[in-house]
Amino acid sequence: MAIIINLDVVLAQRKMKLKELSAIIGVSNVNLSILKQGKVKAIRFTTLNAICSALNCQPGDIMEYVDDDE
């Protein structure tokens, strides 16, 4: 099981920098960078909600499940 983080794709589509998103949602640039790289073990629903609200997207736009067998 692998969860792929597509935050960089959504940010590019919205023409927004990670630093801008950080300022809007109040989450540190470092923590968002770790999320963007897919190195996080967990994400709070409040953080996910803030990201989706700021980017006007759905959680499925940011995260994708890929079966390890593929």
pLDDT in tens, 16-69: 999 999 999 999 999 999 999 989 999 999 999 999 999 999 999 999 999 887
H-helix segments, the chain: 7-13, 18-25, 29-36, 45-55, 59-62
47 Cβ partners below 8 Å, 6+ apart?
25, 27
pTM of the model as a whole:
0.89
Q: What is the CATH T-level fold of the domain 2-66, as seen in this structure? A: 434 Repressor (Amino-terminal Domain) (1.10.260)
Domain boundaries, the chain: 2-66
